[in-house]
Every structure is written in structure tokens, then in C-alpha cells.
Structure 1
Amino acid sequence: MTTHDLKAVEKPAVPRDDVLLRATDVTKHYTLRPDGFARHRRVLRAVDGVSLEVRAGETLGVVGESGCGKSTLGRCLVRLTELTGGRVEFDGRDISTLSARRLRPVRPGMQLVFQDPHASLNPRRRAGEIVAEPLLIHRYGNAAAVRRRVAELFDVVGLAAAHLDRYPHEFSGGQRQRIGIARALATAPKLIVADEPVSALDVSIQAQVLNLFADLQDEFALTYVFIAHDLGVVRHVSDRIAVMYLGEIVELAETEALYGAPSHPYTQALLSAVPDLDDGSAPTPARERVVLTGEVPSPADKPTGCPFRTRCPYARERCALERPPLTETAPGRWTACHYPLAAEPLSVLGTPPPATTPPGP
């Protein structure tokens, strides 16, 4: 897939105060069984103090290497995974501790599109039944109304209504993902968390699905949290990007600002690995090749201080002693680094932030 396969979508400016989803110091820890001669249980810090905001109508990209906690964070945001700590507010309501019964009326407004379109669809159910399931759970209407709605959703995502009675194995990978998207749209959500929705698809059809996401956002005023590891893809779908490393956000900025001049050394290294296929010009200084040394530490054995310091080419003594807070280093740009590559800090995101100052990344 090339960038020319993707639509150039002109989006209106998103109001900065129109926050649909707010996460404050969200954590998800798993306790591991002792192994070998260890006497104490270890804690795997899958998500470790994440604060962010998602504004209505925007797409927030979440990127990072495999195992950095992207998918776990996405599940926490829609309460498919229980939080260990922190708070999630959706559409002005704190949903962090709602019981299953109280959460049920909130569920239609936030949906998730899964990574693997084959594993996420029940092979024993027909495609129409799969899309109809959330409508039946939330009592959309009688059988005829549900079937009409499912046929409409098939048309919206580019599938023929004649295929309602087919089973998932009778569809291609791209078509199966369209079924998953139709299922997510069934309850008319405001927010969709897309968990690497194109990574399991052939390159030849990734652009089709990405363009579908863009069309649906325009048509239904959707808000996306778009999780991916391919920075070349996420650049073309996101208004802002959050970069994760070992369960933490290390940089958050407007898309073009982040790509033009990364502030965190980890972001710089990730961007340097993205091939520039648009033209044959020489790379900019921000795109010069940066090779990281060492292995990614285990989230069950995180380094002291800055989690990236064991691989950072700019690490100093302070990096081993102090964990850098997520700090505003330029207007709209937040970086968790003692020695950012960009400007001096403007403010610091506390944990939790003061009530009068929203967590502003």
C-alpha cells in the first residue's frame, strides 16, 4: 500500500474544549505467578499511568512497538478490561467503576473494532446474525426492523445485502473486517476504538478499509481512537498521535508537528524506520536513521526512572533516578523526557491533574 491509495481528507478544526473521552492516570496491572525460586509475585505493568483526552470528531492515533500496552489501553477505555486504577470519563460521565448493569446503557455509545477479522467473528453464526447481535442485546426493535437495519449497515460498509446469510469463512479478509465495522456501527456509537484494524489484512486492501473509516467518520460524525504499529498508516488517519512505550505515553502531539520534528528520542527512532516512498529527496534531520540498541525491557521488570533510558542514545544520570512526567514542551505537544529534542517545558501534567486544569494533552 502506498500513501497515494489513501484519500486526502480535509477535516474541519476540532474544538479543543469538546472532549468526548478523558482518561486520567489509567493503570492496568497483572499479578504474575512466581516462577523458579522467586518468592514474590511480580507485577506486569501493561498500562502504567496514562492520561489523555479525545475530542469529539477527531482521530487520536496510538502507536508503539508490540507489547507496549496499546491494545490493553484501548480495552480499558471502553471498559472491556477492568482498570487497576485511574479514571475514564465518557461523554461527561465517569464510567470507571460502573457496574455491568449501570454500564449497559453506556455501551451503545462506544464500540471496538478488533484486530483479527477472522478470530473476532463467530464462525458458526451467519454474517447477518453477527451484525444483528448488538441490536438484539439493546432491544433495537422487532425481527423485521433488525433485519432492515442490518441490511442498511451492510450497504454502508460496502457489502451486498444478499450476503447476509453467508458464514464468515465465505468472505475475504477485507470483507470480514467490514462485517466487524458494521457490527460496531449497529448501535450508532459516538466513539470507536479501532485496535490495529488493518494489520491482519493484505496490503492491497488496507487502503480500502482505511478509506472506509474516513468515509464513515464524515457521514456519522464518529470519533476514533486508532491503534496501530505502522506509523506510515497512522499518519494519514490521525489528527493527533500518542506514542506509547512500556505502558506509558512518551509523546503526544498534532500529527504533522510530531512527524516534522519529534520531541522524544523514542519517537525519533520510530519515525526514522518509516520508509519515505513519496519522493527521492534526502531525508530531513528528523528522519535520519536512528538505530536503537538493547532489548525492550519486560513490563514486569521496568527500569527505574525513565522507562526508555536503557535504549536511549541521550540518557544521562538523571534519567535513571527520576521518572519524567508528561510535560508540555510546546503548545499542544506533550513529552515525557528530561531532555526533549524540542523546546523548554511550558507546564507539567500531574497525577491526577488539578480540578481546574484538565489533563491537556
Structure 2
Amino acid sequence: MTAQNIAAADGTGDARLDGADDAGDDRLDGDVLLRATDVTKHYLLRADGLARRRRVLRAVDGVSLEVRAGETLGIVGESGCGKSTLGRCLVRLTELTGGRVDFDGQDISTLSMRRLRPVRPGMQLVFQDPQASLNPRRRAGDIVAEPLLVHRYGDGAAVRRRVAELFDVVGLAAGHLDRYPHEFSGGQRQRIGIARALATNPKLIVADEPVSALDVSIQAQVLNLFADLQEEFALTYVFIAHDLGVVRHVSDRIAVMYLGEIVELAETEALYEAPHHPYTQALLSAVPDIDDGDAVADGPPRERIVLTGEVPNPVDKPTGCPFRTRCPYARELCALERPRLTPTGNGRRTACHYPLTTA
């Protein structure tokens, strides 16, 4: 989905999303709020047949990244690449198998539940499915009030005032407080989820595919809401998505994941203009160029790259580079040695023995 499509669907033109992109340049100079160092999440599976060997599913396999205060880091990749698991690891909703996560200068990866409790308000998560993430038996106002009660925000009157304020912030009427989730549309339910995430005044929000379950026109409204809230409350986002058209217009930088690993990390426009990893190149070639008939698309159209073969099983990852079995440029070294995520110029990092270069 292009910027024009997003803005047009919201009925606001291009200004709001263009403004969000311009603001991103200033946010890139902020301090590091979140740092993940060699984060892994492995799941032990049942014994494998007669050998009775425990198999390991490597959902997240050695991810390192930084998120600067006030920026939006997009995480993209095919379904099953580990994006959502990584997002949950970053906020300790899922326990790490290995590695470290530092949030706001503090190592949270080994904190006990008791010591983690005062850190929780600063980092929240917006879930993918707004219907499944809301308790159908509770009223909307009670759902948003729950984190305030858990973290002892104040007395009943203070909580009610805060909930009404949050409803107004996300564009819901105060009269909706007593409604149940099934009485709202999908977009309204996601606004409730966003209000719940905002309740504790977080610094970081991990948005796990927050618009993928919504209609395109509603996606635009929710994306613009995210942009407005970031500007108003100085929020930092980790925005997980599989739609590269959407993530381009909400992210300052983008991390591309494949089989539980980050294969490329770069500033958004640099990544789209000249991908360095063959997997990134293939993903971007699948994004359609939409010509509205009034303007010529920027640059020549991308050549469509169709990857051959199946995505490998994360239980039995290929040796060396995990992408080599589908890579059109794979060589002997790719099967022998796993490439590390190393700098390839202009703040970009790429995990490839033979990174692509611009002509």
C-alpha cells in the first residue's frame, strides 16, 4: 500500500504521512532506548521417532538490534520468520533462551517477575487481532482500566477520568465505555487495544502487525493514529508487519528477518532504493508499483524476482547462510560459513558474504 493509498483512504491527502516521514530524520539522533544482544528463543519439541532425539525449533536465532528513543523500527519478513516471537521477547512476554535485552539502560532479560513489575508500565504491546486480544466478557472501559488498577494508578475516580481521557485520545466517544467488544467495529476494537497500551504512559510500544486484520481504509486511520500518538507522547515503536508498503511509511529504519535471523538492517529509504541482501531484493520486487496515471513512478520498475524452493524448516536450518537454498547468488562459501550481520556502509548492516551493490 503506497503513501497515496494510505492517505487517500483516510480522506486526508498526503500531508500527514509525509509529515511523519520528515519527522523521522530528527528522531534518528536519539539515545538508545532498547538494545537486544544475541537474543535467541528456542522451543524443544517432542522426541524424533525411534532416535528419541529432542528437536529444537529456532524461532529467534541470535538477533541483535538497537531502537533509538523516538524512532520507529520496522521488522518485516515472511510469515513464520520469528517477527512476533522477537517482539514478545523484547518486552519479556516470552522468556529468552539466550541473549540479553536492555530497556532504558537496564538489563531486563534476567529480572524476576517481582523486579520486572515496575518496568512493565514503560513497555507495552499492541496485538495483531483486536478481537482475540480483548476479553469479550468485559466492558471496554474496564479493559482499558485494568493496567491502571494493576499498577495502582490511583483511586476509582482517577482511573475513570484517565480511561475517559484515553478514549478521547484514540478517537472513541466516552459513551462507548460501557459497550462490550462485539459492539465495536474492527478498527474501533484496535483503538481500544491502543488505549490500553497507552494507559501506563509507556516509552516503548511493540505493535505486532496491528493493522493486518483490518480493512485497507481502516488501516489508514489506525496508521495515522499511530503517527499522531508518537508525535504527541514522544513514543518509540517497534512496528512488526509483513506488508512492506505499509512499513515503509511508518518506519525510520527497517530490519528484515529470515528464519529467525536479521539479514539486513538499514534506514528505510536506503533499503528500498538499494537493497544489499538478496532476500530483501526479492521481497521488494514483489511490492507492486502503482501508477496513478498522473505521475511517473520514481525510478525504473523493479524486476520481479521469484524465489525457488520452499522456506526451510526452522527445526532443520541449512548450514551456513540460512537463505542459501533459495538464493540465486549462492556460492560455495555460503554453505560453509554463516554470515554475520556486518556494516556495509551508511549505517546499514547486512548478513551476506556477497552483498549486492548498486550499479
Q: Using the alignment, how far apart are the partners of 1:74 and 1:213 within structure 2?
A: 17
**1:115 is matched with which residue?**
128
- Any residues of structure 2 matched to 1:319-334 within 5 Å, and which? 319-334=334-349
Q: CA 1:336–1:285 in structure 2 vs 1: closer, same or farther (change >3 Å)?
A: farther
Higher helix share: 2
Q: CA 1:329–1:111 in structure 2 vs 1: closer, same or farther (change >3 Å)?
A: same
**1:237 is matched with which residue?**
250
Q: Which of 109, 124, 143 is the equivalent residue of 1:130? A: 143
What number of residue pairs does the alignment pair up?
A: 343
Structure 2: where are the runs of 5+ without partners? 8-16
**1:3 is matched with which residue?**
3
Structure 1: where are the runs of 5+ without partners? 344-361
Q: Using the alignment, how far apart are the partners of 1:17 and 1:178 within structure 2?
A: 28
Q: Give the drift of 1:41.
A: 0.8
Residue 204 of structure 2 corresponds to residue 191 of structure 1: yes
**1:335 is matched with which residue?**
350
Give yes or no for contact 1:19–1:56 (8 Å, CA) kept in 2.
yes
Please give the secondary structure, in 1, of the residue aligned with 2:281: helix
Give me the CA root mean square deviation: 1.4
Give yes or no for contact 1:55–1:223 (8 Å, CA) kept in 2.
yes
Moved more, 61-70 or 14-23: 14-23
Q: CA 1:243–1:285 in structure 2 vs 1: closer, same or farther (change >3 Å)?
A: farther
Q: Which runs of 4+ in 1 moved over 4 A?
A: 278-286
Please give the secondary structure, in 2, of the residue aligned with 1:41: strand
Give yes or no for contact 1:305–1:324 (8 Å, CA) kept in 2.
yes
**1:249 is matched with which residue?**
262
Q: CA 1:215–1:134 in structure 2 vs 1: closer, same or farther (change >3 Å)?
A: same
Q: Using the alignment, how far apart are the partners of 1:89 and 1:318 within structure 2?
A: 34
Q: Which of 25, 30, 44 is the equivalent residue of 2:43? A: 30
Give 1:259's aligned amino acid. Answer: Y
Please give the secondary structure, in 1, of the residue aligned with 2:47: coil
Q: Give the drift of 1:16.
A: 3.8
Normalised by the size of structure 2, how large is the TM-score?
Answer: 0.93
Q: Give the drift of 1:277.
A: 1.4
**2:239 is matched with which residue?**
226
Q: Which of 64, 70, 75 is the equivalent residue of 1:62? A: 75
**1:302 is matched with which residue?**
317
Q: Using the alignment, how far apart are the partners of 1:240 and 1:77 within structure 2?
A: 17
Give yes or no for contact 2:291–2:297 (8 Å, CA) kept in 1.
no
Q: Which of 296, 302, 313 is the equivalent residue of 1:287? A: 302
Please give the secondary structure, in 2, of the residue aligned with 1:33: strand
Aligned identity (percent) is: 86
Q: Give the drift of 1:58.
A: 0.2
Normalised by the size of structure 1, how large is the TM-score?
Answer: 0.92
Q: Using the alignment, how far apart are the partners of 1:292 and 1:285 within structure 2?
A: 21
Give yes or no for contact 1:32–1:42 (8 Å, CA) kept in 2.
yes
